């Protein structure tokens, strides 16, 4: 994971949500979940279409669906190319947000 996000400028790494969050410009981009898999930040307008993919669902926190956040199950990240695609997607969206 660090190799994939390492090329990002303004990158921070913090323990949160029982996992390890990678932030770009102070905005969370992707979280390696302690339970396995990833939480990935995406454009909320793309969430529904991305959830149609197998092994991808909306992030639910305290019973509430979190707009713009997806959970990708570990089986969908087994290939390096698949992991890279999700990490790139999360980082690309985080770069569009105002720096914190």
> Which has more pLDDT, 18 or 71?
71
Say whether pLDDT at 1 is over 80: no
pLDDT mean over 47-66: 95
In a domain, 42, yes or no: yes
In a domain, 100, yes or no: no
pLDDT, tens digit, 9 for 90 and up, residues 29-41: 999 999 999 999 9
Question: For residue 12, what pLDDT is reported?
Answer: 87
Domain that residue 82 falls in: 2-95
- Residue 79 burial by CB count (10 A; 0-12/13-18/19+): exposed, middle or buried? exposed
Across the chain, mean pLDDT equals: 92
Q: How many CA atoms lie within 13 A of 17 on its CB side?
A: 20
In a domain, 87, yes or no: yes
């Amino acid at each position: 994971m660090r190799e994939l996000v390492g090329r990002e400028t303004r990158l921070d790494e913090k323990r949160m949500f029982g996992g390890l969050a990678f932030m770009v410009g102070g905005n969370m981009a992707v979280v390696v979940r302690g339970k396995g898999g990833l939480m990935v930040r995406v454009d909320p307008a793309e969430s529904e279409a991305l959830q149609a993919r197998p092994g991808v669902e909306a992030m639910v926190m305290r019973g509430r669906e979190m707009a713009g956040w997806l959970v990708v199950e570990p089986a969908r990240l087994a290939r390096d190319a698949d992991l890279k695609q999700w990490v790139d997607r999360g980082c690309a969206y985080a770069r569009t947000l105002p720096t914190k």
